[in-house]
Every structure is written in structure tokens, then in C-alpha cells.
Amino acid sequence: MKERYEIRIHGLLGPLLRNRFKQLACEVLPRQSTIRAKLSTEELEQLLERLDKSGVEVVYLDSVPG
């Protein structure tokens, strides 16, 4: 079963990284970017691994209603 997640990262998710994650909803905030997506546990783990390999620091992760 998929859940909706909100992931905030430190810094801006530039165009190259946004292109890598184009299937996800991304929003740029001051000093942070937010990614929202409906993911399975396996998909979430894969996304977090991709972010980590890209050098992106996750500062917040939570499941959200929706």
C-alpha cells in the first residue's frame, strides 16, 4: 500500500535534480525544497537512497494525509 510522504531537503533542488525526480511534486522554499509523493515503503527507501547518493541532506520526512 502506498502512503503520501512529505520530504524536506536542505538547500535548493536545482533543475538537474528536479529532472531526475520529475515524477514527484517538488516545491522550492527559502533554503529548503519539499518533495511530495505517494510511495510504497520500497519506493521511499529507493528515493532516500537516490537523494543520499546525490549528496542531498534530508531534514524532514513524514507521512501526510491525502
Question: First vs last Cα of the chain: how many Å apart?
Answer: 13
7 has a pLDDT exceeding 90: yes
pLDDT at 27: 81
Strands of the 3-10 sheet, one edge to the other:
25-29, 32-39, 3-10, 58-63
- Per-residue pLDDT tens digits for 28-56: 778 888 889 999 999 999 999 988 988 88
The residue ranking higher by pLDDT, 25 or 40, is: 40
Q: Is the whole-model pTM more than 0.85?
A: no
- Identify residue 47 by its one-letter amino acid code: L
Mean pLDDT (the chain, rounded): 86
Q: What integer pLDDT is reported at residue 24 of this predicted model?
A: 78
> What span, in angstroms and rounded, lies between the C-alpha atoms of 2 and 9?
21
In the chain, the domains with their CATH numbers are 3-63 (3.30.70)
